[in-house]
Structure 1
């Protein structure tokens, strides 16, 4: 293992693990840390943009907030239950999918996951550059600089990301509490601006369902992150406390910021996230808006590091399925550089009017990830009950094989039956057209993929897997003994 600079506690400053198993001797952290981590992870300006959609489609502010609350709380339910997989398995989130799909069969959810990570880095980079507001046209300077900073944070790894996210929570809560109170007081007393959406807004079933789907899809997209940041916790970490901590952190921040976005988009004509935040903040006192934007930019850069870290883990897992890789620091650094370069190219090419692109991006995430989360959670909680042959998951050609037909078929059928219900700017399925553009695809995908996988799993050879688990446990115990 390459030598690295040591911390005060004698531990490497740079994280040593990648897509490999975290030994029990190296487990650390506290369950409550997950709350502020996911609060800050979700408390970014990109989240606020999601709340713009309802008002933009003519939905009143309170109906928009209701759709946000229901959607975010629904989506977070699936995301939070993935948290329990980290300490039980000691693995990153997506490599666990090999048990359901096989090492190569998981390539479709892997590709969708990398798409999610890179997409968020791109939108975060654009918004952070707008927030800095110093030579804003100099994209060729700011985009690389912001991405490099996020990559450096991700290189140091898991513990630094947790530290930054945890401490940013305090600043975000104080600053945005002030912004939110000011916005509510101001817009409830000030005359309605000409052209503001609130002047003509009302009820629209289609707009309500779109806002609900976007809020749900946005938080479901975090399902692919969760175990990456819980896998270092002790294996006996309380499951109820862990799931609750993740749920409260992610749901509360999403509901808060999306609702604030709905409020701003309702009362500010052609609302822009950065300029709206700055103008409302300055109502408190001149310059406070700039403080709010700076804090928001810091949160964006931090979550860019989180996204880069996750993309590196998922990309490395995909490569490992076809060509065995050693999970070293060098692999992590190379993977992060590749992620940064791809994100930079996409950011430079994306149109300036990114809101429509963002809405379609969130819905596409929902479509690709809903069948995966259904299969993954059903397998963990109802089929294998959290018991896996961990050492075999790490072997691309091990017990779980290259292709696992149950997961592949359940995912594929679930995705296919969702297509008629898709409602995108460039495609509206026949069922969505009959429903006036309303999108129920996520519900269809969850039920069909999860139900099929549960049905298919009745033919699994439980005795063979139990033998594989026993051998795997002995192998992991031997590995841990060597490390002590």
Structure 2
């Protein structure tokens, strides 16, 4: 039931300006490098962007929260996502494989194809397009160019970074961090000084009642933060296997939580100043700032979009390779990266005409599948905490259909009962509309509980066998 694990050849190491070879192999000791502390900027830089701000904007402008209600919901949702990110990141150095490869333990080799496809589409196309649009609008407002030209520039830069691979992506996050941190700190202070934090809540555009709006805020913030968890080990697998798991998880979770919570707070505060929704939401946000700060912020929004999307397209390509599609081994990941760059550009081009309308739906749909996926993966990680897993990860015959069943039950059951979308409302939500949308909570609990029920005895037998 076990198979030999393919490993990297030790030639990549810490070379920054080199195309990362291979696809999703185990990282050999000769290629291991870095420190857990670098994960702080790895997960801070990609969240210092406008998409993070807009999560906060939604909580007040759309969900009808006051600033303080929004802040509580945003911190709770982001905190839940950061906790999950901690556990998945911490495991990366020990296994030395991408996050979606380790997912084969919970779903089996073939069963893992479903979450891998969902992740590659979400990251390599969905998030790629979403962030590219905000970056394109920022460049358009900053330099007075057309959004399409701005989009071309953004896509070319971020695709080139991801094509080169892990080390160049990490280097970009490191050097982007101080630039983004300083600019967004200045812009945040300026926004908070103008804001009216005690202003009454606006009339909600979706949902009814403060409970529903609060739960939507939590769900949206969770969807944004937890949307990074299927990537977690992609950026810790190169660390030496001897680094402490706690430090690894802590730096990754801290960077994610701090950057998301602060900018989401600023987004919520900006709505108390003036209108926040427009055809160009980035320009609406920076319109509240003085000219020099506004221009610097537009530049930071563009850089932040590149920081986020270099990670999105890299990990989206990594997930696609994990499906098991046969590609030339030494260039598999790079080829798929180029493909997603083209696909993401086309979707972003289509979305330029309506930048903000579907963002809320997109975030909640991410939470719909990430919630059950996390439930299965974390339950599996708990059950295998004492198990050696070498030999299972690359065995094409290894099956764990209980994991896929738990995921499907959690996903379908939670959506049918609790989703709250314009085109489909769950049965429970129809009866109790004040609930808002708690699909991700229910999906996580259903899938995680199902996995513990269906798979505990199987994993215990594997533990004895190993």
Q: Say which of 81, 94, 97 aligns to 2:100.
A: 94
- 1:132 aligns with 139
- 1:47 aligns with 52
TM-score, normalised relative to structure 2: 0.89
Counterpart check, 1:434 vs 2:431: yes
Q: Say which of 436, 457, 463 aligns to 1:459.
A: 457
- 2:411 aligns with 415
1:148 alignment partner, SS class: helix
Give the unaligned 5+ runs of structure 1: 1-5, 470-484
The 1:386/1:237 distance shift into structure 2, 3 A limit, reads farther
Q: Say which of 229, 233, 236 aligns to 2:235.
A: 229
Q: Which runs of 4+ in 1 moved over 3 A?
A: 6-12, 134-138, 196-203, 270-273, 323-327, 386-392, 461-467
**Residues in 1 aligned to 2:147 and 2:363: alpha-carbon distance in whole angstroms:** 27
**Residues in 2 aligned to 1:86 and 1:207: alpha-carbon distance in whole angstroms:** 36
**Residues in 2 aligned to 1:391 and 1:102: alpha-carbon distance in whole angstroms:** 12
- 1:245 aligns with 251
**Residues in 1 aligned to 2:224 and 2:392: alpha-carbon distance in whole angstroms:** 32
2:195 alignment partner, SS class: helix
Q: Do the aligned residues in 1 keep the contact of 2:44 with 2:256 (CA within 8 Å)? A: yes
For the pair shown, the structure with the greater C-alpha radius of gyration is 1
**Residues in 2 aligned to 1:303 and 1:291: alpha-carbon distance in whole angstroms:** 18
**Residues in 1 aligned to 2:355 and 2:289: alpha-carbon distance in whole angstroms:** 24
**Residues in 1 aligned to 2:109 and 2:179: alpha-carbon distance in whole angstroms:** 42
- 2:355 aligns with 354
**Residues in 2 aligned to 1:387 and 1:33: alpha-carbon distance in whole angstroms:** 28
**Residues in 2 aligned to 1:173 and 1:458: alpha-carbon distance in whole angstroms:** 45
Residues 8-40 of structure 1: CA deviation (Å, up to 9, x unaligned): 987872222421110122111100111111111
Query: Offset of 1:47 from its aligned partner?
Result: 1.1
Number of residue-to-residue matches in the alignment: 446
Query: Offset of 1:49 from its aligned partner?
Result: 0.9
- 1:164 aligns with 172
**Residues in 2 aligned to 1:62 and 1:12: alpha-carbon distance in whole angstroms:** 45
Q: Do the aligned residues in 2 keep the contact of 1:22 with 1:90 (CA within 8 Å)? A: yes
**Residues in 2 aligned to 1:19 and 1:287: alpha-carbon distance in whole angstroms:** 44
- 1:482 aligns with none
**Residues in 2 aligned to 1:126 and 1:164: alpha-carbon distance in whole angstroms:** 20
- 1:327 aligns with 329
- 1:32 aligns with 37
Query: Offset of 1:7 from its aligned partner?
Result: 9.3
2:21 alignment partner, SS class: coil
- 1:476 aligns with none
- 1:394 aligns with 394
Q: Do the aligned residues in 2 keep the contact of 1:154 with 1:305 (CA within 8 Å)? A: yes
Residues 347-379 of structure 1: CA deviation (Å, up to 9, x unaligned): 122262232311111111111111111111111
- 2:112 aligns with 106
**Equivalent runs, 1:237-316 vs 2, <5 Å:** 237-272=243-278, 273-282=281-290, 286-316=291-321
TM-score, normalised relative to structure 1: 0.86
**Residues in 1 aligned to 2:409 and 2:145: alpha-carbon distance in whole angstroms:** 45
